[in-house]
Amino acid sequence: MAQNLEDLIVALFDCITSTADKEARGSIGESLLILGIKQPALFLTAAHTFLVKNNKLSDQNRSFIITSVNKVLEKQSVLEEIDEQLALLIINLAIQEMTMTKVGRHVICNLRISI
């Protein structure tokens, strides 16, 4: 059971990795977007930590999480709320993903453009 919001976000990321059901993945994605817009610093930090800790995720799951991060970062209110340290952390994540994984470069490039 999730004890706090960060645990809930991580649990949703875990759900992504354990289901291939498109409807479920869509619902989870919507929930992640809402949480990311409401609590961007917490969401972005949790996404970064999850990707770093789970370096053996499938390309499909890694891409889904990066796309979720990108959708959150597309919101102007989020960009105005995050601090420089968090922005640098996400930029670093994008660079790591580009050099270490086979996730589509367009997904990662979009992430970098948003910031």
For the segment 13-31, the average pLDDT, to the nearest whole number, is: 93
Q: Which residue has the tokens 């499909």?
A: 60
Give me the percent of the chain exceeding a pLDDT of 90: 47
| pLDDT surpasses 60 at 103 | no
Q: What is the pLDDT at residue 49?
A: 93
Three-state DSSP class for residue 58: coil
d(CA 85, CA 91): 10
Closest CA to 55 of 113, 23, 99, 15: 99
User: What Cα–Cα distance (Å) separates residue 76 from each residue in 8, 26, 86?
Assistant: 24, 23, 15
Residues 17/54, Cβ–Cβ less than 8 Å: yes
| pLDDT surpasses 70 at 81 | yes
